[in-house]
Amino acid sequence: MKNTYFTSEELELKNRAFLSGDAVKVSFFIRNSKLIMDEECYFFLMASMRKMRMNIPLSYTLEFFQNLFNAKVIEGEGVQNGIINFLVFRNSDGVILSKSSVSYYFEVDEMDDVLSIHQRPLELDLIKEINVNNNLLSNIRVHCPENIYGGIYAQENDLDDVILLNPNKRIARSTSGNLLFLEGNVIKIPKQSEGAYISPLLENFVTFLHKNNLADTQEHEIIAFESQKAEEILLISDEKGIFSVKKIRNKTFESARFTELVESWRNSF
């Protein structure tokens, strides 16, 4: 499916997502014609809207989104596997912002299996001329000019993505998701306080590893140089899916162990 999108009402150009970037985005996941992790994604959406001080409609219940996506996407469009990128934005109602109504827009990216690693590994690099903040709003998916700049930088330098640092010159995330660094028997993950995204997909994966004693996962403050020390690197993006990282500068990375761990996780559903 290409260019398939849905809205709560007729889109008007005079909306605050278009004019001010006043919106939050959260992904929902479809696997084998069913929503998975829908509760986690729903609660993340509610938390994101509260952080942006949006007026949450009483109709925005978990059942509302389950019925919406089942009717519009799974049954309506026959989507069996994919990612729903859901954007909710504040309208220009002429009242105080915290009381303004909200509308939504969402689009669907179909793929073979959202829980499988994409076949094409990525090439990344660190970008140092900009950084991302590490405050309350840095962990949710809101308008971020650093992501736009980083994406253009990646394109111009024949890269797939870039690693963004925080003001303390430590690793926060990439433009599209979170990074996991495998060293020995330890998986290091940048802390959310470092500027990493809150990610239901990542949290579900890490919880699975922990419950089954498959790896020692640790949240860390990770300096830029440590990316070169890792044996394997995984990128988990709620928006795009799961990717292995093949190369950063002159260093190449393996992917066998992360592939095995992701496969075990996928088979648990």
| Of the listed ranges 13-17, 48-52, 139-143, the one predicted with least confidence | 13-17
Domain boundaries, the chain: 3-110, 122-267
Nearest to 125 by CA among 90, 159, 81: 159
Distances, alpha carbon 78 to alpha carbons 72, 93, 110, in Å: 9, 35, 10
pLDDT given for residue 93 in this prediction? 82
Q: What is the pLDDT of residues 149-161, one digit of tens each?
A: 999 999 999 999 9
Tracing tokens 């954007």 back to the chain, one arrives at 87
Q: How far is Cα of residue 138 from the mean position of the Cα atoms in its chain?
A: 12
| DSSP tag of 227 | G
CA 35 to chain centre: 17
Q: Coil, strand or helix: which one is 203?
A: helix
* CA distances (Å), origin 209, targets 124, 203, 254: 25, 10, 19
- The candidate with the shortest Cα–Cα distance to 233, out of 188, 190, 181, is 181
* Residue 17 backbone dihedrals phi, psi, to 5 degrees: -65, -45
Q: What pLDDT digit, counting tens, does each position of 64-110 carry? A: 999 999 999 999 999 999 999 999 999 988 779 989 999 999 999 99
Q: Is the pLDDT of residue 1 over 50?
A: no
The whole-model pTM stands at 0.95
Give the residue carrying structure tokens 């308008």: 143
